Chains A and B, each alone.
Chain A
Amino acid sequence: MLKKIAVLLLLIFLTSSLAGCWNRKEITDMAIVLGTGVDWTAEGRLRLTVQIAEPGAFAGEEAAGRGEEATNWVVSAEGKTIEEAARNLAPKVPRNIFWDHCMILVIGEEMARKGTNLVTNFFLRSREPREIMWVLVAKGEAKDFLETYSDLEKTSAQAANLLTRMRTGYSVQLWELAEMLAGKGVQPVVTRVEVKEAGVTPGPGQEMKPPVHKQVEISGVGVFKEEKLIGWLDDYETRALLWLKGEPMEGVITVPDPGEPDKEVSITIRRGSTKVVPEYDGKNLRFAVKVKMEGDMVEQQSRENLAKPEMIKVLEKEMAEEIKKRAFITLEKAQKEYGVDIFGFGDAFHRKYKKAWRELKNRWDTEFAEAEVIIEAEAYVREIGLLSKRAGTPEE
Chain B
Amino acid sequence: MEKFRKPTRTGVPGGIFARDYNDSLKNLVLSQDLEANLQQIKAILDKCSDVIYREFVFAQNEEIRLALIYIEGLADPGQISDQIIRALSLEVPMAVPGQEITKARALEFIKQRGLCIHQLKETYKLQDIIHAILSGDTVLLVDGHAVALVNGARGWEARPLSDSETEPTVRGPRESFAETLRVNTALIRRKIKSPNLKIEALRLGEVSDTDVALVYIEGIVNEKLVTEVKSRLEKINIDAILESGYIEELIEDNPWSLFPTVNHTGKPDRLAAMLLEGRVAILVDGTPVALTVPNLFVEYLQAPEDYYQRFLFASAVRLIRFASMIISLMLPSLYIAVLSFHHELLPTPLLLGMAARREVVPFPVFFEVLITEIAFEVLREAGNHLPRPIGQGISIGAALVLGVVAVQAGFIAASTVIVVVFAGIASLVFANSAGMAFRLLRFALMVLSGTLGLVGMISGAAFIAIHMCTLRSFGVPYLSPLAPIASTDLADVVSRAPWWAMLSRPRLMTGQNQQRQGRGLKPTSPEKTSKGRR
Q: In the assembled complex, how far is the CB of residue A291 from the closest CB belonging to chain B, in whole angstroms?
A: 37
| Complex interface bits, A30-42 against B, C-beta within 8 A gives 1, otherwise 0 | 1010100000000
Q: Known contacts A1-B256, A15-B451, A16-B450; is A25 also within 8 Å of B340 by CB? A: yes
Q: Known contacts A30-B343, A101-B344, A101-B351; is A56 also within 8 Å of B356 by CB? A: yes
Q: Known contacts A27-B339, A101-B344; is A59 also within 8 Å of B451 by CB? A: no
Contact assessment for A26 and B447 in the assembled complex, using a CB-CB cutoff below 8 Å:
no
A12 CA / B349 CA spacing, docked (Å): 36
Residue B365 at the A interface, CB < 8 A? yes
Main secondary structure of the interface of A (DSSP, over half): mixed
Within 8 Å CB of B451, what residues of A? Answer: 15-16, 19-20, 22
A25 CA / B453 CA spacing, docked (Å): 11
Q: In the assembled complex, how far is the CB of residue B322 from the closest CB belonging to chain A, in whole angstroms?
A: 28
Contact assessment for A59 and B357 in the assembled complex, using a CB-CB cutoff below 8 Å:
yes
Contact assessment for A26 and B256 in the assembled complex, using a CB-CB cutoff below 8 Å:
no
Q: In the assembled complex, how far is the CB of residue A58 from the closest CB belonging to chain B, in whole angstroms?
A: 4
Contact assessment for A55 and B450 in the assembled complex, using a CB-CB cutoff below 8 Å:
no
Residue A122 at the B interface, CB < 8 A? no
Q: Known contacts A1-B256, A12-B447; is A27 also within 8 Å of B353 by CB? A: no
Q: In the assembled complex, how far is the CB of residue A94 from the closest CB belonging to chain B, in whole angstroms?
A: 13
Q: Known contacts A16-B447, A58-B349, A60-B353; is A100 also within 8 Å of B344 by CB? A: yes
Contact assessment for A23 and B341 in the assembled complex, using a CB-CB cutoff below 8 Å:
yes
Within 8 Å CB of A25, what residues of B? Answer: 340-341, 343
Which of A12, A63, A98, A101 lies in contact with B356, CB distance below 8 A? A63
- Interface core residue of A63, A98, A101 (most chain B CB under 10 Å): A101
Task: Tell me which residues from 426 to 481 in chain B have a Cβ below 8 Å from any Cβ of chain A.
Answer: 444, 447-448, 450-453
Within 8 Å CB of B343, what residues of A? Answer: 25, 27, 30, 98, 100-101
Q: How large is the interface on B (under 10, 10 to 19, 20 to 34, 35 or more residues)?
A: 20 to 34
Residue B103 at the A interface, CB < 8 A? no
Within 8 Å CB of B96, what residues of A? Answer: none
Closest to B368 in A: A26
Within 8 Å CB of B355, what residues of A? Answer: 27-28, 30, 32, 53, 55, 58
A235 CA / B450 CA spacing, docked (Å): 51
Closest to A4 in B: B256
Closest to B455 in A: A23
Within 8 Å CB of A20, what residues of B? Answer: 366, 450-451
Within 8 Å CB of B256, what residues of A? Answer: 1, 5
A128 CA / B341 CA spacing, docked (Å): 12
A56 CA / B357 CA spacing, docked (Å): 8
A277 CA / B351 CA spacing, docked (Å): 48
Contact assessment for B447 and A28 in the assembled complex, using a CB-CB cutoff below 8 Å:
no
Q: In the assembled complex, how far is the CB of residue A331 from the closest CB belonging to chain B, in whole angstroms?
A: 39
| Complex interface bits, A87-105 against B, C-beta within 8 A gives 1, otherwise 0 | 0000000000010110100
Residue A24 at the B interface, CB < 8 A? yes
Residue A13 at the B interface, CB < 8 A? yes
Within 8 Å CB of A100, what residues of B? Answer: 343-344
Which of B340, B356, B361, B447 lies in contact with A55, CB distance below 8 A? B356
Residue B358 at the A interface, CB < 8 A? yes
Residue B172 at the A interface, CB < 8 A? no
Contact assessment for B352 and A53 in the assembled complex, using a CB-CB cutoff below 8 Å:
yes
A26 CA / B342 CA spacing, docked (Å): 10
A291 CA / B268 CA spacing, docked (Å): 75
Task: Tell me which residues from 347 to 379 in chain B have a Cβ below 8 Å from any Cβ of chain A.
Answer: 348-349, 351-359, 361, 364-366
Closest to B354 in A: A27
Within 8 Å CB of B364, what residues of A? Answer: 24, 26
Contact assessment for B356 and A59 in the assembled complex, using a CB-CB cutoff below 8 Å:
yes
Within 8 Å CB of A57, what residues of B? Answer: 356
Q: In the assembled complex, how far is the CB of residue B37 from the closest CB belonging to chain A, in whole angstroms?
A: 51
Contact assessment for A32 and B358 in the assembled complex, using a CB-CB cutoff below 8 Å:
no
Which of B349, B358, B444, B450 lies in contact with A27, CB distance below 8 A? B358
Within 8 Å CB of A5, what residues of B? Answer: 256
Q: In the assembled complex, how far is the CB of residue A140 from the closest CB belonging to chain B, in whole angstroms?
A: 26
A27 CA / B348 CA spacing, docked (Å): 12
Q: In the assembled complex, how far is the CB of residue A50 from the closest CB belonging to chain B, in whole angstroms?
A: 15
A56 CA / B352 CA spacing, docked (Å): 9
Contact assessment for B365 and A58 in the assembled complex, using a CB-CB cutoff below 8 Å:
no
Contact assessment for B450 and A26 in the assembled complex, using a CB-CB cutoff below 8 Å:
no
A100 CA / B452 CA spacing, docked (Å): 19
A376 CA / B159 CA spacing, docked (Å): 93
A154 CA / B450 CA spacing, docked (Å): 33
- Interface core residue of A5, A23, A58, A100 (most chain B CB under 10 Å): A58
A32 CA / B351 CA spacing, docked (Å): 9
Within 8 Å CB of B358, what residues of A? Answer: 26-28
Within 8 Å CB of B448, what residues of A? Answer: 12, 16
Closest to A18 in B: B451
Within 8 Å CB of A128, what residues of B? Answer: 344
Contact assessment for A28 and B359 in the assembled complex, using a CB-CB cutoff below 8 Å:
yes
Within 8 Å CB of B361, what residues of A? Answer: 28
A34 CA / B348 CA spacing, docked (Å): 9
Contact assessment for A56 and B341 in the assembled complex, using a CB-CB cutoff below 8 Å:
no
Which of B339, B348, B351, B447 lies in contact with A103, CB distance below 8 A? B348
Contact assessment for A101 and B341 in the assembled complex, using a CB-CB cutoff below 8 Å:
no
Contact assessment for B340 and A24 in the assembled complex, using a CB-CB cutoff below 8 Å:
yes
A188 CA / B361 CA spacing, docked (Å): 47
Q: In the assembled complex, how far is the CB of residue A60 from the closest CB belonging to chain B, in whole angstroms?
A: 6
Within 8 Å CB of B344, what residues of A? Answer: 100-101, 128, 130
Q: In the assembled complex, how far is the CB of residue A99 from the closest CB belonging to chain B, in whole angstroms?
A: 9
| Complex interface bits, B206-234 against A, C-beta within 8 A gives 1, otherwise 0 | 00000000000000000000000000000
| Complex interface bits, A122-139 against B, C-beta within 8 A gives 1, otherwise 0 | 000000101000000000
Q: Which 4 A/B pairs are nearest by Cβ-Cβ distance?
A: A59-B356, A58-B352, A100-B344, A55-B355
Give me the interface of A with B, judged by CB distance under 8 Å. Answer: 1, 5, 12-13, 15-16, 19-20, 22-28, 30, 32, 34, 53, 55-60, 62-63, 98, 100-101, 103, 128, 130
What would 17 more interface pairs be, CB under 8 Å, given A1-B256, A19-B451? A16-B450, A16-B451, A22-B451, A24-B366, A24-B453, A27-B354, A27-B355, A28-B355, A28-B358, A28-B361, A32-B351, A53-B352, A62-B356, A62-B357, A63-B356, A100-B343, A103-B348
6 A-B Cβ contacts within 8 A? A5-B256, A16-B450, A27-B351, A30-B343, A56-B359, A100-B343
